[in-house]
Amino acid sequence: MRTGSEPATARSALRARFWLSLWGLVWATFGTAAFALAGRPGWAVACGVLWLLITVDMTMILRHLRQGPHYQPGRDVPPYQPPDPGPPYPGPSRHRRTRPHGRPWPHGRP
């Protein structure tokens, strides 16, 4: 259920991001070394730049993980405030069928 406060209360799967970054780091390191040994400097530089980006991302992920539950809430912290009681959205009345422009059908047509 959406409450409208999702951007302020969004949570990131930091542990999953960490393991995916680690996997990318391994492949970027391997790619950089393999392309450098194969004599492909352009591809080696591209993998090196990717390696640098992954390292920066991993640094930010580890920083957020170490900052604790403020940035990575545990299971006891709800992801958002419970919604207010009432209809989920203001909609048209359901007891009378209307045409697309909102006026009722003439002569009681469906």
DSSP string, 52-81: HHHHHHHHHHHHHHHT-TTTS--TTS-SSP
The stretch 30-56 carries a mean pLDDT of 97
pLDDT at residue 84 above 60?
yes
The more confidently predicted of residues 49 and 86 is: 49
Q: What is the pTM of this model?
A: 0.54
pLDDT category at 76 given cuts 50, 70, 90 is confident
pLDDT at residue 50 above 60?
yes
